[in-house]
């Protein structure tokens, strides 16, 4: 069974001359340090800049300029003790310089800043010069109901999670050009509608919270199953989503769907160490060493499932967390409660009909009733537009055909999945599946 539920780029290097080798190596190390720090601080930096200047485009531009300045100065001066604060100070200076040169732009932003100050003062950096953590405010801004739902998630993934536009596009199964248009449109809407940068009041939360939860889950999903690159997982993204989920849980302890989402992320993330082998290759759920699963995280997630499903009708994330808990609490795949998992997928389909949920239900039915039953359900989804270009669909179909002994059809489906695979571990896994049925990959690989 393919565990992927849903759903790093190598730097080009030149051979330096011997006399310049030391300087080049030092520069490479500094650049790597900057890139690592930027991934860690980018969301906080953008949030602080947007809160100060009220404009996403300006914030992104000066943040990038601050990084460029760091690449020039840090190899010479060393990485500062407070890299985030250094980047923020540099970015603010560059923003002020930009506004001094463009008085009309400055006047427009001044109006936005007055309105932002009325909504709430800008929190200062702490005594040690750290960035104030305003990311949740930016999350709620990007999830404002004035924005179309698809734009909310796309913008937040781009701005706060630091995903590239192609990565966001792949996560939502749309062309990169389409996603770029969505992001530009969302920024323009925020600017024109003068959407305030703040956490909403209690009366607004029911409308605004689902968008924020969707954003967090999308970030987690990209971390759990990366859309591209040399690695299957991007643990930094998964852990960032969990961290923000914990903050939301503390701020809004009565919201059961926050408990459900946090539970879901914890229960899935608990398997992270067992999902790949020493060479980075995918290890399927039935083959994983469950002794490597994080039992403390599973216990925390299971307790949150109870909170998510108690006191009202089930929510989307609470039900998904219950499915994850059944997987994590089973001794192995054979003893997993597949009838209960199928029943929970039925609940999910009633709450939010989706071809991806139907795909996952078909795989669960195959585990309960046999591969022929699951394959019949997959065939019913063959013409579903949203599954075209979605690698887990042909992968699941290939696995069931393989189990049925229909090897030529399985090989064709594995090849289809191979063409759609986004990460190198996925490609290696599919090539190995092809080899296991005696069929070479492309070019005899």
Contact 431, 445 (CB under 8 A): yes
Q: What is the mean pLDDT of residues 393-412?
A: 96
* Signed CA dihedral, 44, 145, 301, 374: sign only: negative
Mean pLDDT of all residues belonging to the chain: 82
Terminal CA-CA length for the chain: 23
**Which residue from 197, 230, 155 is spatially nearest to 49, judged by alpha carbons?**
197
Per the DSSP assignment, residues forming a β-bridge with 282 are 276
- pLDDT value, residue 126: 38
62-66, 122-126, 305-309, 367-371: segment of lowest average pLDDT: 122-126
On whether the CB atoms of residues 29 and 314 are closer than 8 A, the answer is no
- For residue 444, pLDDT beyond 80: no
pLDDT at position 18 over 50: no
**pLDDT tens for each residue of 216-271:** 898 898 888 877 778 788 888 898 889 889 888 987 899 999 999 999 999 999 99
pLDDT category of residue 133 using cuts at 50, 70 and 90: low
pLDDT tier at 177 (50, 70, 90 boundaries)?
A: very high
Of these ranges, 35-39, 120-124, 233-237, the one predicted with the greatest mean pLDDT is 233-237
Q: Say which residues have a Cβ less than 8 Å from residue 402's Cβ, sequence separation at least 6.
A: 410, 433, 436, 437
Which H or E run includes 303?
helix 295-309
- pLDDT at position 8 is 31
Domain residue spans in the chain? 20-119, 134-252, 258-336, 389-445
Residue with tokens 């039900």, as numbered in its chain: 319
Residue 34 confidence (pLDDT) above 80 = no
pTM: 0.72
* Res 7: pLDDT: 34
Q: Do residues 165 and 158 touch, judged by C-beta distance below 8 A?
A: yes
Residue 27 has pLDDT above 90, yes or no: no
Per-residue pLDDT for 445 more than 60?
no
Listed in sequence order, the residues at least 6 apart from 274 whose beta carbon sits closer than 8 Å to its beta carbon are 283, 288, 289, 290, 292, 293
Alpha-carbon distance of 39 to 139, in angstroms, equals: 17
pLDDT of residue 44: 79
Q: Reply yes or no on whether the pLDDT at 4 is more than 60.
A: no
Which of the residue ranges 115-119, 400-404, 422-426 would you say has the lowest mean pLDDT? 115-119
Residues in the chain: 445
Does pLDDT of 196 surpass 70?
Answer: yes
More confident residue, 402 or 51: 402
**Is 368 within 8 Å of 338 (Cβ atoms)?**
yes
Give 125's pLDDT tier (boundaries 50, 70, 90).
Answer: very low
Domain 20-119 of CATH type 1.10.1740: yes
Nearest to 285 by CA among 224, 345, 240: 224
Q: Is the pLDDT of residue 132 over 70?
A: no
Quick: pLDDT tens for 347-358: 999 999 999 999
């Amino acid at each position: 069974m393919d565990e992927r539920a849903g759903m790093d780029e190598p730097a080009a290097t030149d051979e330096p001359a011997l006399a310049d080798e030391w300087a080049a190596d030092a520069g490479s190390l500094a650049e790597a340090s900057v890139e690592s720090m930027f991934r860690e601080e980018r969301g906080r930096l953008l949030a602080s800049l947007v809160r100060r200047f009220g404009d996403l485009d300006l914030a992104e531009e000066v943040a990038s300029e601050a990084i460029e300045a760091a690449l020039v100065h840090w190899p010479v001066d060393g990485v500062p003790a407070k890299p985030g604060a250094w980047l923020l100070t540099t970015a603010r200076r560059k923003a002020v310089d930009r506004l001094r040169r463009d008085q009309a732009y400055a006047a427009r932003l001044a109006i936005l800043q007055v309105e932002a100050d009325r909504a709430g003062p800008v929190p200062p950096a702490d005594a040690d010069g750290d960035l104030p953590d305003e990311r949740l405010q930016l999350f709620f801004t990007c999830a404002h109901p004035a924005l179309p739902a698809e734009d909310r998630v796309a913008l937040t993934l781009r701005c706060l999670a630091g995903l590239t536009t192609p990565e966001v596009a792949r996560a939502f199964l749309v062309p990169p050009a389409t996603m770029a248009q969505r992001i530009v449109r969302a920024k323009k809407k925020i600017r024109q509608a003068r959407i305030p940068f703040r956490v909403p009041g209690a009366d607004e939360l029911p409308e605004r919270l689902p968008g924020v939860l969707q954003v967090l889950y999308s970030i987690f999903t990209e971390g759990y199953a990366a859309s591209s690159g040399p690695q299957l997982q991007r643990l930094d993204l998964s852990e960032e989503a969990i961290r923000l989920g914990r903050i939301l849980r503390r701020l809004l302890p009565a919201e059961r769907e926050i408990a459900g989402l946090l539970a879901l992320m914890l229960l899935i993330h608990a398997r992270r160490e067992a999902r790949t082998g020493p060479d980075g290759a995918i290890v399927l759920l039935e083959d994983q060493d469950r002794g490597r699963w994080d039992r403390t995280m599973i216990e925390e997630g299971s307790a949150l499932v109870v909170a998510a499903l108690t006191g009202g009708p089930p929510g989307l994330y609470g039900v998904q967390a219950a499915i994850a808990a059944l997987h994590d609490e089973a001794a192995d795949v054979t003893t997993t409660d597949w009838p209960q998992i199928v029943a929970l997928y039925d609940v999910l389909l009633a709450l939010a009909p989706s071809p991806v949920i139907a795909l996952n239900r078909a795989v669960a039915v195959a585990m309960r009733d046999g591969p022929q039953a699951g394959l019949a359900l997959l065939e019913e989804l063959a013409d579903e537009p949203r599954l075209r270009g979605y690698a887990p669909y042909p992968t699941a179909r290939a696995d069931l055909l393989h189990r049925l002994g229909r090897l030529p059809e399985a090989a064709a489906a594995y090849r289809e999945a191979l063409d759609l695979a986004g990460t190198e571990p996925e490609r290696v896994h599919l090539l190995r599946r092809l080899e296991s049925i005696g069929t070479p990959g492309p070019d005899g690989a």
